[in-house]
Chains A and B, each alone.
Chain A
Amino acid sequence: VDATWKELTNVLSGIFCASLNFIDSTNTVQPSASFKPLGIANGTDHRFLRYATLPREIVCTENLTPWKKLLPCGSKAGLAVLLKSEKLFHSSFHSQAVHIRPVCQDQQCKTMSLELRQTLNVVFDLHTSGQGKREWSLFKMFSRTLTEACPLAASSKIYIDITDNPQEEQFELSPATPLLSQAVVLGDRRTFSVYDLTQQVTFGTVRSLNVLIRWKSTEGDMLRPLLHAERYVAGYGLQTGEIHTLMYNNHPFRSFPVLLLDSVPWYLRLYIHTLTVTSKGKDNKPSYIHYEPSKDRVRPHLLEMLVQLPPHSVTEITVQFERALLKWTEYTPDPNHGFYVGSSVISALVPSTVAMNTNITEEQPLFSTFFPCKEESSYFVRVYTEPLLVNLPTPDFSMPYNVICLTCTVVAVGYGSLYNLLTRSFQIEEPNPGLAKRIANIIRKMRGVPPL
């Protein structure tokens, strides 16, 4: 599996112009419980599973371009014309993903095919880019409007969440659209206004679609997720530290278990006996711990825990680590920037407030069916914490020759003094006669006369 993993990472690195070829055994782990294959996979043998993160790499235009090329119409038609990098990366959060899973080709499920799903998540900050006026439009955000749907697309839709706006008191949406859709997203029933790009009527007389939202009032509830997490490094100095992971359960009365996956690089040596899990001030023992310690320069730490989060509480997980001194060639060119620790992954089945439809039908929006739910009362969510930046002690990089010389000098001092004492013996020192006398002695020796 490792050989095919290496092949996969190299191929993906080539396709997406991303430095995925830096994925090797030092940042790959085999999670045992956090990830399961999606789709209609047969087995869940976790020995074939690999998980790797490259926290240092950032997503940029180079990755967006090949991602767009995978779309059937590229960036020439359909929704993808909006994806221009100068506007897209002027945002607070950007995420692109490519998922491949085996699915049934038809209802009877006689043949299997592979489904390629590409997702792009962008969070625009209204205020920093909105020039003060509380309105946004497709033109303002992307400097383009939509003119046609991609001819190869079976469906091409825009969904606007209008759940909080039933009587148009918060914002005004234009152009008006008669289509409505309801879906349960993250355990909540939301109503969406739908713009169907395959219908010519959507584009109206101007033959272009510019969805515009004008905000009227300043109130609005923020959607508060039931599960969110954060992580930080505590401690001072370059010798030791502590990783704190905080998980918030905002459900008022239900508690649910979460599976935490932590992959810490080998140069932060975790001490698992210092692991503490506290909820509401009391000790909360995880019911399942899978820990694989790291091997220096071979593989990272893997910690998977099943923690029960009590309702309306904060659970804090702390573990101490020690920072290693690396060889001078193992540091990045900017060693004082620090080393990144990849995000933890928290997978949970969160109880939902609304009963969910377990049938996957064609009418549901694509974004609501990513993790198919087997039960009606909870939905699956995967939360990623932020990556950490940790400083390691550095040797002086200008000193390899000096260090070799000085250390070898000390060893030679030891060797030299012991050698002298071992091979030489004590003798009475006869003082050296002066130069003239020595020359005279040499001449006398040559003459055969006794020396002075």
Chain B
Amino acid sequence: MAAPLTLLLIVAVTIRAALNRSSLAELIAERVEVVSPITAWKRVIEGLALLDLGVSPYSGDVFHETPLIIYLFHFLVDYAEITFMLADVITAVALYMAVKDYNKQVFRKQKFSLEADRYPADCRELIRTPKEMYYIPLKVAMFYLLNPFTILSCVAKSTCGLNNAVIALFALTTIKGNVLLSAIFLCLATYQSIYPLTLCAPAMLYLMQHQYIPVNFRRASFWWFVAQYLFMYLGSLFVIVCLSFFLLGSWDYLPSVYGFILSVPDLTPNIGLFWYFFAEMFEHFRLFFLCVFQINVFFYTIPLCIKLKDHPVFLIFMQLAVISIFKSYPTVGDTALYLAFLPAWSHLHRFLRNNFLVSCVLLACSALFPVLWHLWIYAGSANSNFYYAITLLFNVAQILLVSDYFYAFLRREHHLTNGLYLKKKDGSEATLVLK
């Protein structure tokens, strides 16, 4: 499988290099759907320029990256394009290896369940075969690398690409079972934007199952493992935070980076829900709704963990999706990361209900974003409501997509335990509903 992967990497790098050389690069770097105040490359250059002028980059309100990024790009600013292409390649290869490993484990678990005769007799169609699972890792890498969202993000040199790379490495090390590296990569991801904190729970669940520790609150080994993981995670976070302090000599970056993400002072339009809401918010209720919106991101962790405790990798997918939709400054790069996981659940396609609607809406919205932005900002013939409406539609489509996959996953699990062709009491064909 190395050869097709290499070919895919070469094609992806060629597309990105070609776009970088063309005149579209500056155009794409300015688009608000692709860059946000946190991830824009222009702001990284501005931060470096401020540092050269002798002013702290965090004394103003333009630069919101972490000190490690300043340090990294201090040396790499001339090779920025290569850095971001390399980040994309690393993400794709990490996702490839992670999904390959995951497939192996899924197949092994399925084999044991088949031998233990746990599946009802009519579920033959739902059993996954190695043949169908063979090309999934390649498809995952392809979905990530050739996704127009990712390509745009890379050409715009949005630091979202680096964040995606770290999260992909976290997924790889978690699935491989390496506790220390998983904690370190998760800590790096959290350090850059706070939201990957919610990925702690699926990581812990997966690693516990990998090491055959029963997930039971009453057992001491459970708490011992939780304590170990949290110690490694919080320890590396503490180390990195202190390292950042010593890099620039002050704690200025804490309110500039984390305070900015949490309190959303900058209302630059993006594809998320926050900007227009807080632009039109009554001042009196601002703090209340800010808390509501931020809690909304973290709030689904525990219920999802309880429901999906046997399927931690799907839980990682769900968490990534929730973060990408509800975070304070989302960009299309965040969407591209969880969309890359979709081929891993391609066996669920027979239970998906909304795939046509969702794909149409996503395509239409992606096409309409630049049009309505142009009409509002340059032509002056539309106003902000048009762009806001498309934002709403895009987010509704994403929510539908995620909940659809969740529904299909749960339904397949139900069928695997209760049989595929269900009959009502009088023997006729039954319909399944959620009650």
Chain A interface (Cβ within 8 Å of chain B)? 236-240, 266, 269, 271-273, 289, 291-297, 301, 324-329, 393-396, 399-400, 403-404, 406-407, 410-411, 413-415, 417-418, 420-422, 424-430
Chain B interface (Cβ within 8 Å of chain A)? 30, 32, 42, 45-46, 48-50, 53, 55, 59-62, 265-269, 273, 275-283, 289, 293, 296, 300, 303-304, 306-307, 325-326, 376-378, 380, 383-385, 388, 392, 395-396, 399-400, 403, 406-407, 410-411, 414, 418, 422, 424-425, 430-435
The 3 A-B pairs with the shortest beta carbon distances in the complex, nearest first, are A293-B60, A273-B49, A417-B403
Q: In the bound complex, how far is the Cα of B50 from the Cα of A425, in angstroms?
A: 56
- Which single residue of chain A is at the shortest CB-CB distance from B413? A426
* Minimum Cβ distance to chain B for residue A291 (Å): 6
Q: In the bound complex, how far is the Cα of B42 from the Cα of A296, in angstroms?
A: 18
Would you call B61 and A295 a contact (CB within 8 A)? Answer: yes
Q: In the bound complex, how far is the Cα of B363 from the Cα of A138, in angstroms?
A: 74
The answer to whether A425 and B434 touch (CB under 8 A), given A325-B267, A394-B384, A399-B385, is yes
Would you call A324 and B282 a contact (CB within 8 A)? Answer: no
Would you call B422 and A403 a contact (CB within 8 A)? Answer: no
Would you call A426 and B433 a contact (CB within 8 A)? Answer: yes
- Which single residue of chain B is at the shortest CB-CB distance from A320? B42
For A295, list chain B residues within 8 Å (CB): 59-61
Contact of B430 among A269, A294, A429 (CB under 8 A): A429
Other A-B pairs beyond A396-B384, A411-B296, 17, CB < 8 Å: A238-B376, A239-B378, A269-B62, A273-B46, A293-B59, A295-B61, A325-B279, A327-B279, A394-B383, A395-B276, A395-B280, A399-B280, A399-B385, A403-B279, A407-B273, A407-B276, A428-B431
Q: In the bound complex, how far is the Cα of B435 from the Cα of A410, in angstroms?
A: 23
For B431, list chain A residues within 8 Å (CB): 428-429
Would you call A422 and B280 a contact (CB within 8 A)? Answer: no
16 sample A-B contacts, Cβ–Cβ < 8 Å, listed by A number? A239-B32, A269-B61, A271-B46, A289-B53, A292-B59, A293-B55, A297-B265, A327-B283, A394-B383, A410-B395, A413-B399, A414-B395, A417-B403, A418-B303, A424-B434, A429-B430
For B403, list chain A residues within 8 Å (CB): 414, 417-418, 421
Contact of B392 among A238, A400, A407, A429 (CB under 8 A): A407
- Which single residue of chain A is at the shortest CB-CB distance from B293? A411
For B385, list chain A residues within 8 Å (CB): 396, 399
* Minimum Cβ distance to chain B for residue A422 (Å): 5
Q: In the bound complex, how far is the Cα of B307 from the Cα of A326, in angstroms?
A: 42
Would you call B60 and A403 a contact (CB within 8 A)? Answer: no
Would you call A272 and B377 a contact (CB within 8 A)? Answer: no
Contact of A273 among B45, B289, B433 (CB under 8 A): B45
For A399, list chain B residues within 8 Å (CB): 280, 385
Would you call A328 and B395 a contact (CB within 8 A)? Answer: no
For A411, list chain B residues within 8 Å (CB): 273, 293, 296, 326
The answer to whether A421 and B406 touch (CB under 8 A), given A410-B396, A426-B433, is yes
* Minimum Cβ distance to chain A for residue B426 (Å): 9
* Minimum Cβ distance to chain A for residue B288 (Å): 12
Would you call A238 and B49 a contact (CB within 8 A)? Answer: no
Would you call A326 and B45 a contact (CB within 8 A)? Answer: no
For B376, list chain A residues within 8 Å (CB): 238, 393
* Minimum Cβ distance to chain A for residue B9 (Å): 33
Would you call B267 and A324 a contact (CB within 8 A)? Answer: yes
Q: In the bound complex, how far is the Cα of B279 from the Cα of A171, in angstroms?
A: 62
For A240, list chain B residues within 8 Å (CB): 30
For B306, list chain A residues within 8 Å (CB): 422
For A238, list chain B residues within 8 Å (CB): 376-378, 380
Would you call B377 and A414 a contact (CB within 8 A)? Answer: no
For A424, list chain B residues within 8 Å (CB): 434-435
Would you call A420 and B399 a contact (CB within 8 A)? Answer: no
Q: In the bound complex, how far is the Cα of B293 from the Cα of A410, in angstroms?
A: 12
- Which single residue of chain A is at the shortest CB-CB distance from B415? A426
Would you call A422 and B304 a contact (CB within 8 A)? Answer: yes
Would you call A400 and B60 a contact (CB within 8 A)? Answer: no
The answer to whether A293 and B62 touch (CB under 8 A), given A411-B296, A426-B414, is yes
For A422, list chain B residues within 8 Å (CB): 303-304, 306-307
For B432, list chain A residues within 8 Å (CB): 426-429
Would you call B42 and A329 a contact (CB within 8 A)? Answer: no
Q: In the bound complex, how far is the Cα of B55 from the Cα of A272, in angstroms?
A: 11
Would you call A421 and B410 a contact (CB within 8 A)? Answer: yes
Q: In the bound complex, how far is the Cα of B172 from the Cα of A288, in angstroms?
A: 51
For A291, list chain B residues within 8 Å (CB): 50, 53, 55
Would you call A417 and B399 a contact (CB within 8 A)? Answer: yes
* Minimum Cβ distance to chain A for residue B206 (Å): 19
- Which single residue of chain B is at the shortest CB-CB distance from A271? B46
Would you call A239 and B30 a contact (CB within 8 A)? Answer: yes
* Minimum Cβ distance to chain A for residue B143 (Å): 23
Would you call B60 and A327 a contact (CB within 8 A)? Answer: no
The answer to whether A266 and B430 touch (CB under 8 A), given A296-B265, A393-B384, A422-B307, is no
- Which single residue of chain A is at the shortest CB-CB distance from B273? A407
Q: In the bound complex, how far is the Cα of B273 from the Cα of A411, in angstroms?
A: 9
Q: In the bound complex, how far is the Cα of B59 from the Cα of A377, in angstroms?
A: 41
For A297, list chain B residues within 8 Å (CB): 265
* Minimum Cβ distance to chain B for residue A308 (Å): 19
- Which single residue of chain B is at the shortest CB-CB distance from A415? B296
For B281, list chain A residues within 8 Å (CB): 327, 400, 404
* Minimum Cβ distance to chain B for residue A177 (Å): 57
